[in-house]
Structure 1
Amino acid sequence: MIRIVFPLSGNVFPLGYYSTSIRIGNPPKAFNFDVDTGSDLTWVQCDAPCSKCTLPRPLQYKPKANIVPCSDPACSALHWPNKPQCPNPKEQCDYDVEYADQASSLGVLVTDQFPLTLLNGTVLQPRLAFGCGYDQSFPSAHPPPMTAGVLGLGRGKVSILTQLVSTGLTRNVIGHCLSSKGGGFLFFGDNLVPSIGVAWTPLLSTDNHYTTGPAEFLFNGKPTGLKGLKLIFDSGSSYTYFNTKTYQTIVTLIGNDLKGKPLKDAKEDKTLPVCWKAAKPLKSLVEVKNLFKTLTITFTNGKRNVQLQIPPESYLIISKTGNACLGILNGSEIGLQNSNVIGDIFMQGIMMIYDNEKQQLGWVSANCDKLPKS
């Protein structure tokens, strides 16, 4: 099995996403994609022609008689579990995806070569299906307007990972390492997974997302009463979103713990819903991280507990006005009433491993600033 590694660029704040450059076509053309484990379909802004595209026309993908018909298995995989979308099997396979924040992409499914350069210099050219998006809507920053589209890394049949696995090129494993300084790397296959030190918890097999649970939350090592939670790990989300009860409990715990400490509410800062200010503007989290406590997510696997530690630097950002803001948001405000989504901010400084073969999710502390050596 081959090893495929892509360098990442981007950050949690101020950009709000991590992206990678992937080449498509022959001759190949590079496109920058938002890396998204929370969705299946990969799509690119497409000159078909395009409505509401954020990229100039020369930077858009140009289809060349490579449209997928309705009769193709990739089309039925895309629309599962819905009923077939096309009455005529010879018609083009259309798609319409909408994200939690109401961003959307409408287009047609196409296939093309994805040249992949291996460490030994060999170039592989698998032909993969993806979306040619000719009508986009960006009410917020996701998918990021400055990227060409979304790299769908979910568990569905139409995801890039599943398609690569079906060609026999890689094992059904992906991972990413997001640096708190910006950048990091994405990998396909299990070659980079450490043999020791990784904490594992089962994936809920009935879910199309990377969902784990039940989980319990601790604050400063003590029970919070928050338990039995299902969590979706989603690299397409900058911040972490909890249901109303979980969100309000955590905000209250942090707020109560800050009483008597030299931080005050900064309601005038609209960067995020909850911000605190010090006596003078902060330059980095190093100045205040000792004022905040660690959050811990505990998973019970049989008789054994595994923990994912979330230190203050993995749930806070420093706003442009020098305040510490909470990167945990109320999901019900964007339509995620019952979901708990673990976003990029919680996954900084650790290697996350999504193992679909063994139906498990893993994590281990790692140096995400350096690309792995051969």
Structure 2
Amino acid sequence: MKTGIIVVLCFLSLALIVPPSSASDDRRQKWWKWPSTGKSICSSVVLPLYGNVYPQGYYYAQINIGHPPRPYFVDPDTGSDLTWLQCDAPCVHCTQAPHPYYRPNNDLVPCKDPLCASLHSGDHRCDDPNQCDYEVEYADGGSSLGVLVNDVSLLNLTTGVRITPRLAIGCGYDQIPGPSYQPLDGVLGLGKGKTGIVSQLHSQGLIRNVVGHCFSSRGGGFLFFGDDVYDSSRVISTPMSRDYRKHYSPGYGEVIYGGKATGLKNLLVIFDSGSSYTYLSSQAYEGLLYLITKELSGKPIREAVDDETLPFCWKGRKPFRSIRDVKKYFKPVALSFSNGWRSKTQFEIPLEGYLLISSRGSVCLGVLNGTEVGLQNFNIIGDISMQDKMVIYDNEKQTIGWIPANCDNPPRSNTIIF
């Protein structure tokens, strides 16, 4: 669960290392400049995704940062804006990571930069005007403390061009891992704010302000920035909430179970790719669990109290091998959103979108009680419920959309390497 909350803080100065050479400066200038043609933008960035909801517990992408570009594995998180890497600057507290910690150059983002201001609410002050300190806290209690730096990222456009835009990222030198901590190099911030990677690429005229993902239920998938990788005429969409603008939210929704209204409504919903599972506030969670339990009554399936994979698991007379084995016991779920006067849009969640088969052959409920983990009245649509769909966050049209998709086949491009 990576829904991010920015906390206003100004901390000690940081001795950054590895200053760039004049040769690398020349290279940056040559690669980063992008010709302004005045034509409409028709390009995207597509990144492969790795991992799964279960048993690994998370999806991740690879980004390449620095001179020369080095690989880092990051959590693609629509619930927070800031992209940050565990950083050897030096590191005060860092967690286990798959790659050596990021070593920054000395290209600091100054305190007065608009990107710095966007990380802080109100009139923020910095102890050092030459740097921008940050602390981002996540809903699970984890956090990252660091400073903003500018560096280049190696990206391939679907037009076949390879670019290295200069981006502001967090050099995180003090991390506190939360319960849902994963051994990655950092977080890829895909949120709506100015520091989000998509917002930065859009401000440089490289892509439209659109981000999306496609998680495969078989593992892997792809992530994309821009709008030329899908057929917009096939997209089912709903407006982003005008009242809750901080995260990707369609506003208030209602739970539908087996095609019927449940009365579980007025639920403030957030789409959050940083959360592996779906979370409902306590009342909605208990209501859905009651409906499922009632549906299972009298059937040859009982609670598997000895399976601790998730809070609620059920077992049959013999171990289940796939969701196909339990289709006769469960019904699909959906979330219904108001799409205007008397108009509603449904986000359908098939059995695979809220159930999983554990290593012990039980079927487990991939919907959890969000109130118990501090989410209050927020209801999170996590990765499990977004599998096998292309989910699209269009910040230009202010809509959230989705299309059923084969997420095993990412869009391809013939990359031109300069």
TM-score using structure 1 length = 0.95
RMSD: 1.6
Q: Does 1:68 align with 2:100?
A: no
Query: Shift of the alpha carbon at 1:133?
Result: 0.8
Q: Does 1:317 align with 2:368?
A: no
- Number of positions where the alignment pairs a residue of Structure 1 with one of Structure 2: 370
Q: Mark the CA change 1:56 to 1:349 in structure 2 (over 3 Å): closer, same or farther.
A: closer
For residue 5 of structure 1, what is the aligned residue in structure 2?
46
Cα distance in 2 between the residues matched to 1:77 and 1:11: 32
Deviations 1:278-301 (Å, cap 9, x if unpaired)? 112222222113311011111221
User: Is contact 2:235-2:401 (8 Å) kept?
Assistant: yes
User: Is contact 2:146-2:172 (8 Å) kept?
Assistant: yes
Query: Shift of the alpha carbon at 1:317?
Result: 1.2
Q: Secondary structure at the match of 1:84?
A: coil
Q: Mark the CA change 1:173 to 1:58 in structure 2 (over 3 Å): closer, same or farther.
A: closer
User: Is contact 1:231-1:341 (8 Å) kept?
Assistant: yes
For residue 95 of structure 1, what is the aligned residue in structure 2?
134
Query: Shift of the alpha carbon at 1:52?
Result: 3.4
Q: Secondary structure at the match of 2:328?
A: helix
For residue 29 of structure 2, what is the aligned residue in structure 1?
none
Q: What is the 5 A alignment of 1:8-157?
A: 8-55=49-96, 59-79=100-120, 81-90=121-130, 92-119=131-158, 121-142=160-181, 144-145=182-183, 147-157=184-194
2:237 to 189, 200, 205: 200
User: Is contact 1:47-1:57 (8 Å) kept?
Assistant: no
Cα distance in 1 between the residues matched to 2:384 and 2:262: 21
1:337 to 365, 376, 386: 376
2:389 to 347, 350, 356: 350
Q: Secondary structure at the match of 1:287?
A: helix
Cα distance in 2 between the residues matched to 1:49 and 1:16: 30
Deviations 1:50-106 (Å, cap 9, x if unpaired)? 233234696110012122221222211111x2431414423x211111111111111
For residue 160 of structure 1, what is the aligned residue in structure 2?
197
Structure 2 counterpart of 1:136, one-letter code: Q
Q: Mark the CA change 1:211 to 1:57 in structure 2 (over 3 Å): closer, same or farther.
A: closer
Q: Mark the CA change 1:249 to 1:105 in structure 2 (over 3 Å): closer, same or farther.
A: same
Q: Secondary structure at the match of 1:59?
A: coil
- Which range moves more in the overlay, 256-265 or 187-196? 187-196
Structure 1 counterpart of 2:139, one-letter code: A
Q: Percent identity?
A: 54
Cα distance in 2 between the residues matched to 1:140 and 1:57: 19
Cα distance in 2 between the residues matched to 1:113 and 1:102: 30
Structure 2 counterpart of 1:50, one-letter code: C
For residue 297 of structure 1, what is the aligned residue in structure 2?
335
User: Is contact 2:77-2:187 (8 Å) kept?
Assistant: yes
Deviations 1:185-244 (Å, cap 9, x if unpaired)? 111111023132211100013411001133221111111001222210000000011111
Query: Shift of the alpha carbon at 1:139?
Result: 3.0
For residue 12 of structure 2, what is the aligned residue in structure 1?
none
Structure 1 counterpart of 2:111, one-letter code: C
2:323 to 285, 296, 299: 285
User: Is contact 2:158-2:412 (8 Å) kept?
Assistant: no
Query: Shift of the alpha carbon at 1:118?
Result: 2.7
Cα distance in 2 between the residues matched to 1:82 and 1:257: 51
Cα distance in 1 between the residues matched to 2:151 and 2:193: 19
Q: Mark the CA change 1:112 to 1:317 in structure 2 (over 3 Å): closer, same or farther.
A: same
Computing the radius of gyration from Cα coordinates, the structure with the larger value is 2
For residue 232 of structure 1, what is the aligned residue in structure 2?
270
Structure 2 counterpart of 1:349, one-letter code: D
Structure 1: give runs of 5+ residues left out of the alignment. none
Cα distance in 1 between the residues matched to 2:388 and 2:312: 23
Deviations 1:108-138 (Å, cap 9, x if unpaired)? 1111001112345422111111111111121
Q: Mark the CA change 1:362 to 1:121 in structure 2 (over 3 Å): closer, same or farther.
A: closer
Deviations 1:301-321 (Å, cap 9, x if unpaired)? 123222111111110111222
Q: Secondary structure at the match of 1:170?
A: coil
Q: Secondary structure at the match of 1:108?
A: strand
Q: Does 1:265 align with 2:306?
A: no
Structure 2 counterpart of 1:70, one-letter code: C
TM-score using structure 2 length = 0.85
Cα distance in 2 between the residues matched to 1:120 and 1:354: 21
Structure 2 counterpart of 1:258, one-letter code: L
